[in-house]
Structure 1
Amino acid sequence: MHRIVFLERESIIAEVRRPDFPHHWVEHAQTLQHEVKERLAGATMAIVNKLQIDAELIAALPALQMVAVAATGSNNIDVDACRERGIVVSNVRGYAVHSVPEQVLAMLLALSRNLFAYRQAVVDGRWQRSGQFCFFDYPIRDLHGATLALIGSGSLGSGVARLAAAFGMRVLRSERKDALSVRPGYTPFAEALRQADVVSLHCPLNAETARLIGEAELRSMKTSALLINTARGGLVDEAALARALHEGWIAGAGFDVLSVEPPRSGNALLAPELLALPNFLLTPHVAWASQPAMQALADQLIDNLEAFARGEPQHVLT
């Protein structure tokens, strides 16, 4: 009988059905990193979201057969160590194909139309004192005709592309930064950054993509460009972005992720003066979290457990 331990149950607000095979189910609302080893002792299946499962931990869990990631990103799992031990790692895919793209467009619309600046101006009484029916303190740009560069064009990037096309945007799919050749239908990375009015990140975080966007890349973008990140915080040099926003290298940014979450030790992007800027929007990693998306995630998570128990593992990373 499988012993299933769900370490971060509160990371999903959804109905999680019990698997259809014999099992013993244990769940914890939250788990601190130092509690993982003790809680997974004897577990054959572990369900994790953002907790680290490294080689040392894997070596201490001889019963473990499967790690079910309650997310798409798996940079918190030592996949190589799991592979060496014969542990199957499965993730959840495609569940947020509407939720994340809609968040990207919401951020893009808010920043392009300067909604935060205009709302604050009304709060401050600027409209009430205006000499005419409206005022034009902050520039407003249309999405129609603007160029969107997608860094990563999987299901989420493709979802953003569909919505952007509906707004009349021109969409570029960026080639990998270190690519030796350019695939048909793709644009060289550096050229995509130079042409873009908006850059939206949708790639995984790994050794090749860590700090993909740094000072050089930010300075190569248009001063009127926007940067949107709903992928992983570590894709961007956050200190460089803070400077870029303060000094006007780019026009604005919308972020749903930070390099460390929750950011208990501070972060350059959490500086009060930065958060007060009308051209910077930061949300707490909720782009994926519409109710339909979370339910789809929960359903697929259990599907992965059941597929493994049948001897037909799916969505395998190892």
Structure 2
Amino acid sequence: MSVMTIFISPKAFIRDHIATIQWNAIQSWKQFGKDVDIVLIGDDPGVEEASIDLEVRYIPHVKRNSSGTPLLSDIFSLARETSISPLLAYVNADIILLPNFLEIAESILSYEKQFLLVGQRWDLDIREKINMSDGWIDRIREDIKNRGRRHPAGGSDYFIFPRNCFMKMPDFAIGRSGWDNWMFYEARMRGWKLIDCSDVIDIIHQDHDYAHLPGGQPHYRQQESFENVKLAGGKRTVFTLLDCDWKMKKDGSLTRPSLTVKKILREIEIFPLVTLKSRLLGEAFFAVFHPKKAYGELRKFLTKNNKNS
């Protein structure tokens, strides 16, 4: 039995560079051997052929929104329903994984029942297929050291959780922003440990453009991203790595994040949301901590209502 199922609905394999970086990513996942079950979901051009070439599972049919974008709710359900792995991992299709990705997840599963593992990434420009012969890990770590760029702490490109977590989620559009921030929020709100593994799990994001998106605009500028935020429950659910309540140290132990002024203020701000489960108090606390932003949002809301009336 596999320990982990890694699942994704990849982009179409029709552009050479996108096809190359997705091939690199999935090949790195395959290095885990039989311990990891890999499934590609969706019938975008070239996905089935890639699954055959890479010898991984393939599920063609996935629910889509009115724009034709696959829904994450169905992707998550399909991964869970077609696997028996105790761990599930959603990983973006351009992310290269290294061996300790699985080791760390297994170690936490041995003593925690409900959690979400997330973390920062390294950005690296890769244009060709990676030779994954002996020593490839050392070679790519050297590349990270020489050319890699640490991505600012914000969201996450991977989400590892036990199969009894995230049983239900809104119908988010894949490849757009907002839904990953909701994953952070949902873990905190449910009382699961939200663990920042940035110091121990190195993942490599391969640079790419946004030509596959409408208008070539980044995902956070897409209308579907705004819809994702609405589905999540609004802007207050936009949580980031700053909102992790646990951190994994290099020795493998868990500790609380450092109580910087920024962290303390943020924990006070989100207390009504994650502890009291009150959206109303959450809005009130946001207005106290961010009066200019709250005022700006109120003005936009009133202006929009006036135009519609």
TM-score, reference length from structure 2: 0.26
Larger Rg: 1
Looking at secondary structure, tell me which structure has more helix per residue: 2
